[in-house]
A and B are shown apart, each in its own frame.
Chain A
Amino acid sequence: MNSAMSAWCCVFLSVSPCISGLHAESVGSKSSTAPTALRPGPLSQDRLTAAATSRTEFLLTHGSYAQTRFHLADRINRETVQHLKLAWSFELDIKDSLQTAPIVYDGVMYVTSAFNHVFALDAKTGKELWSYKHAMGPVVSLCCGPNNRGVEALDGLVYMGTLDSRVVALDARTGAVAWDRQIADPARGYSITMAPTAVAGKVLIGLAGAEYGIRGALKALDAKSGKELWTFYTTPENSVGVWATTDAVGLPLHRDIAAEKAALAKLGDPYKTLGGSVWQNPSVDLKSRRVYFVVGNPSPDLDGAARPGDNLYTDSLVSIDLDTGRYVCHLQYVPHDLWDLDAVSPTVLTAVKNRAGATIPGVIHAGKTGYLYVHDARDCSLIRVSEPLVAVKNERVLPTDEGVVIRPGPNGGVSASPLAVNAAQGLAFALTTEMATVYFKTPSTRYPEGKLWLGGAFKIPEEPVGGALLAVDYNSGKVRWKVEKPAPMFGGILATAGGLVFTGEGDGKFAAYDSSNGKELWSYRADAGVNAPPSTYEIDGKQYIVVGAGGNTQLDTKRGNKILAFAY
């Protein structure tokens, strides 16, 4: 602990009032700058492409375009982690749900708060270099809190998607707005919570809002100008599919196909209001010029009557061409979903063993269904499904008028929390929620022009909830180890070459675990829920671990406003 650290402590020991600032948002975009010696260079594509090989920086939201959230820094390891101490903390101006994944390059850290404020910090001291306060438009339609998952940078600009469906590009050195583009209409239910993926002169950004009957999309904008280059709609004009009778796990879907076919003849293809949110960064393979991402639930969430067919490509892994946005392949996890079983957690690209035992390029995703799926990256086909990661009950049973208890429910399984993958161990680390949900069938309603459209109802029964951090051997589908927790686990994971796994909890605990057996080796208690993905970097021979402690709206964990950086 150094002198800078004790100075910070003085500031932060005082309890600050809850600064919601909700009504103050509309005063206008502002940037404030402080003079600084730090001059971040124009982060080049070459550096981003090689992000996974950096021992000192954390260049992309999930560490690399493969999104393994695995980092080579190993100064903090199983032996030294006991010496890890808080180096600095930074208070954001808004105390609310925090899911930001910090990126760090050239000594500068970029983080976001709820409601789309951006902060550039000196990664060594936590001192603010500049901030951008987003002036939110008059209408914002949200389902699950004022979340933002972070920024990415390329060639001197920093990019953020906003709750009011804009993409803004900021000067990495000053925070000045370079361009600001509205890409969808928030009054029709569109919003953006994901961090953009900056790659190959493009900004890849997805739209969310499947609780409001949107037509989801992944778009590519020109990184320099914001001009739209291509749009891939997540619900194609022919969304019917193959009338699947089972899901990807093989569970029967109890569909009345004849009734659906009759509805299709009467209503036509429902693709225009079929939902299909994109909640998280896509993975990118620059060798094959392919983009991989998962698509969320159909609209309305729980009523299939308005949307006959498999509802492609909702609840699916999709791969498209980076340069044109053209479809390459997909695999649907839950055709004609009636349970809000989104695919949300970001995809991970890593070598996997196929059924014949050969090592091939793979894609891994863990779903709200509570299963981890392993794919062949070449054609999206499913190689294997893990054993269930959570307790399951009444899977794919149809909702009823009286209500039926189903596990997992709409909070997952594995929800938005990104995985981490240690390829040397062949392990994927995942956070789970154990929560039963009562599903009710309600009368069908027509598309409500961008208003809340669920098509059913759910509530949480008074049953114990919980969660876990677990390690899955993705070449066998077996759970290698599991650390059970008293509350839902939501946030994200960082794995390092130091043989460690870092993650947080809703009660403020932030801990390091031995990646080979899940043994807890170090912990810290924050004053708010740690429900965000950690990152790591090195400066002047010290390794830092950084994470946001701001709680989570949906799980209603304690809110706060701190970015915490630990160092050894």
Chain B
Amino acid sequence: MTSTLRLLRRLAAFLILLAPLHLHSAHAQDVQQQAAACAACHPTSGAPADPLTPIIWGQNEGYLYLQLRDFKRGTRAAEKDAAMRAVTQPMTDAQMLAIAKYVSAQSWPRHSSARTPRTDPLFGHGAKLAALGACGGCHFNSWQGYSANPRLRGQSPAYLTATIEDFRSGKRANSPGMSDLLRIYSPEEVAAMVAYLSSLE
């Protein structure tokens, strides 16, 4: 099965789950059921099957809400965001807020994605670049971020790499400040920062 087909099947499953829900207000049970649909692509334990799919459980509430909103609005619209654009179309603002709140309250999945050991020079180089880049001003609390600023710690390395590339190229345009900050790094420097951030437990 190609990854696109796999994605479409999951999307169909998600939409079926979602369909009856937007008729009701965002009751707790609905929200839980709705958020459970997210797990089709974003598993609650282990790493997502598609490495370009981010870990969302335990991600910050404000960030999750703003991304859902931006997918729907079309302001986060890189190619790989097409599925999320479709998923968010029927959602109301209240539903997006409720899903964000629920998903953020879950624990960050344990996963066994390849980690760069702390002894690897790449890890140390990445740590230094992140510190000198003052990334902690927004992604503070040991790279867990807060509210509108996402957790980077332990995120999927392929997703981080692709996201940084999308920011740099302007394909992802819903935080131009991030595009500015990331443009000044070489691909090698990006690789080091990704190795460092994704390898933190």
Contacts and interface: CB of A to CB of B under 8 A. Distances in A.
A554 B176 contact: no
B140 interface: yes
B146 A138 contact: no
Contact of B147 (A142, A452, A460, A556): A142
A451 B133 contact: no
Contacts of A144: 137-138
B180 A462 contact: no
Nearest to A437: B134
Interface residues of B toward A: which range?
35 or more
B62 A138 contact: yes
A236 interface: no
Interface string B111-138: 0000000000000000000011110111
Interface string B41-83: 0000000000000000010111001100000000100000000
Contacts of B174: 448, 451
Contacts of B178: 452
Contacts of B75: 448-449
Contacts of A458: 134
A22 B141 contact: yes
A142 B138 CA distance: 6
Given A448-B176, A456-B180, A462-B132, A22 B146 contact: yes
Say whether chain A's binding surface is mostly helix, strand, loop, or mixed: loop
Interface residues of A toward B: which range?
35 or more
B89 interface: no
Given A138-B100, A142-B146, A556-B136, A20 B176 contact: no
A207 B174 CA distance: 23
A452 B133 CA distance: 15
Contact of B180 (A136, A141, A442, A556): A442
A440 B184 contact: yes
Contacts, number: 121
B160 to A, nearest CB: 17
A139 B147 contact: yes
B66 A139 contact: yes
**B58, B75, B180 interface centre (most CB from chain A within 10 Å):** B180
B12 interface: no
A211 B181 CA distance: 13
Contacts of B144: 20, 22
Nearest to A441: B180
A454 B181 contact: yes
Contacts of B181: 454, 457
B32 interface: no
**B60, B131, B148 interface centre (most CB from chain A within 10 Å):** B148
Interface in A458-481: 458-462
A548 B10 CA distance: 51
B175 interface: yes
Nearest to A139: B62
A138 B61 contact: yes
A499 interface: no
B149 interface: yes
B153 interface: no
A457 B183 contact: yes
Interface string A131-175: 000001011111111100000000000000000000000000000
B169 to A, nearest CB: 11
B16 to A, nearest CB: 27
A32 to B, nearest CB: 23
B184 A140 contact: no
Given A23-B105, A141-B147, A442-B183, A448 B66 contact: no
B34 interface: no
Contacts of B20: none
Contacts of A96: 140-141
Nearest to A445: B176
A49 interface: no
A140 B147 contact: yes
Given A459-B133, A459-B184, A445 B179 contact: yes
B138 A459 contact: no
Contacts of A20: 141, 144
Nearest to A440: B184
Contact of B175 (A300, A442, A448, A556): A448
B137 A453 contact: no
Contacts of A452: 138, 175-178
Contacts of A554: 134, 136-137
B140 A553 contact: yes
A231 B105 CA distance: 37
A138 B97 contact: yes
Contacts of B101: 26, 138
B141 A143 contact: no
Given A26-B61, A442-B180, A451-B175, A556 B105 contact: no
B104 interface: yes
A461 B129 CA distance: 10
Contacts of B66: 139, 187, 451
**B60, B75, B134 interface centre (most CB from chain A within 10 Å):** B134
A23 to B, nearest CB: 6
A403 interface: yes
Given A23-B104, A451-B175, A403 B184 contact: yes
A145 B137 contact: yes
Listed from nearest, the 6 A-B pairs whose CB atoms lie closest are A452-B177, A140-B147, A445-B176, A139-B62, A454-B177, A442-B180
29 contacts: A20-B144, A22-B60, A23-B105, A26-B101, A26-B105, A139-B61, A139-B65, A140-B62, A140-B148, A141-B149, A142-B147, A143-B138, A186-B148, A187-B66, A300-B177, A403-B184, A440-B180, A442-B180, A442-B183, A445-B179, A445-B180, A448-B175, A449-B75, A451-B66, A452-B176, A456-B180, A457-B181, A459-B133, A554-B137
Given A144-B137, A146-B140, 11 more contacts: A96-B141, A138-B101, A140-B148, A142-B148, A186-B148, A300-B176, A440-B180, A448-B173, A454-B181, A458-B134, A460-B134
